Amino acid sequence: MRSRELDTYVHVNQETNRAIVVMDTLALFSQELDYSIWDPIWKETNLDGEPYFVSNPLSIPDAGSLSKIIGGFQPITHFRLGREKIWMKNFEDEGSSLWNFNSNSEFLQDSVFRRGGTAAFQLRYDYALDNVITNLEDRLPFKNEYDHTIHGYIKTENGKNVTLQIRLTEGRSGESILTASMDDSVQGTKSWLPYWGDVPSHENANFFDIRMSSDVPESGQSQTWFDDVGLVEWDSLQLFEGFPISVMHPNDFNYIQVYATQTPVAMAGIQLTNTIIGDLPSLDAIPKAANPVITAPGKVHFYDESKGPVGNWHWVFMNQINVYQRHPTFHFFDPGIYEVSLTITGFNGETDTDYITVVALSSDAEEYILGDVNGDGSLTVVDALLCANYILGLLEFAPEAFLAADIDGNGSIDVFDVLLIADLFD
């Protein structure tokens, strides 16, 4: 955004994390990516003394920069655009540490996460004397003339007063002048859910610190996971009218938030356009699941790592249920082997599709031995033959047999699994 205010162009490639200054604007090559953001999560709020509904911070696609707002469902009256202030909020590929994990009760781990592969973890026992807090290693600059929203994903088991907090200070050191938490703390056992809350400001605040906090449980132990924790800095509130609404670009906006007089009764979207300078890799759909093996009934948390100029995401569950979110969650009620598809859309309606397999076990399923497809307790040529017949479509596998046959753990059964099983019984 600052480059445009200076009448220059800086192109940031989100795929490679590299930026270039465009010297010859006459030879500037750009393309437009049209897309929709579907189904915001709504909270009740007040705007100018009137009751309103406000959406969660809605992520803008990474490809290029937001350049136009085309429209949206009628009850939307206002919007604002925001920037993420915690660059590496998902705890992966940081290159340097942002977070101060300074006790045995708080650390990064890679077994439970919402997306990406790593999440922050806090452990608390009922005999502990106080809550556990994980904060940033260093305070970061805070512009008190802007509104801010703290946000993140939280998962709990026996949690108590689990929350995200912001602490504002006048300097990089010294006492805090304000501490605020998100709207509602989390209690008990909850699956991954997004949480967010507006931050009160202070005229003397120049720096901020984010704190992830878990209180002492009433009994036993409390486990809490945090992912995608960040702080959004908002530009001023604007009227949602006079379409198309032009947005100066390139810019560094990551989020849009909308205000409405009522919530929609059916699926509703917001139509936008990003402008992309230069070339991006071709579309490549890459669906992922944080927990692709569950016990039914249970939830699977999906996330997207697709490449290229992606504008829209279309997930299909059980061959009939359509979801248009980038990182959805789906509840599987019955045991089975489920194929889930992700179709991404880029320039001019171009699409790419890929698939991921989810295995839902029954609650009384026996533990499987890798390679023991027929479950007889030993690895023989029969297991390899069963695997080959499955590939040829001659038989179906129970969930336990599928997991036993998937030797390389890639979520599919292929000839490589047959060869690996043969190696095991040899």
The per-residue pLDDT for range 69-105, each reduced to its tens digit, is 999 998 999 999 999 999 766 787 666 678 999 999 9
Identify whether residues 292 and 265 lie together within a single domain: no
155-210 confidence digits (pLDDT tens)? 999 999 999 999 999 999 999 999 999 888 999 999 999 999 999 989 999 999 99
Quick check: is 370 in a domain? Answer: no
User: pTM for the full model?
Assistant: 0.92
328-338 confidence digits (pLDDT tens)? 999 999 999 99
What is the domain-level CATH number for residue 323?
2.60.40.10
Quick check: is 373 in a domain? Answer: no
Quick check: is 33 in a domain? Answer: yes
Quick check: is 282 in a domain? Answer: no
Helical (H) or strand (E) element with 132: strand 132-136
Q: Which residue, chain included where needed, has tokens 């959805």?
A: 328
Can you point out the beta strands (E) in 175-327?
176-181, 186-199, 207-214, 221-234, 238-239, 245-246, 255-260, 269-277, 287-289, 293-295, 298-304, 312-317, 321-323
Identify whether residues 43 and 114 lie together within a single domain: no
- How far apart are alpha carbons 247 and 64 in whole angstroms? 13
Identify whether residues 266 and 169 lie together within a single domain: no
Q: Give me the domain span that covers residue 416.
A: 381-425
Quick check: is 93 in a domain? Answer: no
Quick check: is 366 in a domain? Answer: no
- How far apart are alpha carbons 73 and 193 in whole angstroms? 25
DSSP secondary structure, 370-403, as one string: TT-TT-SSS--HHHHHHHHHHHTTS----HHHHH
What is the domain-level CATH number for residue 155?
2.60.120.260
pLDDT reported for residue 184: 85
Quick check: is 369 in a domain? Answer: no
Quick check: is 372 in a domain? Answer: no
Total tally of structural domains belonging to the chain? 4
Identify whether residues 201 and 259 lie together within a single domain: no
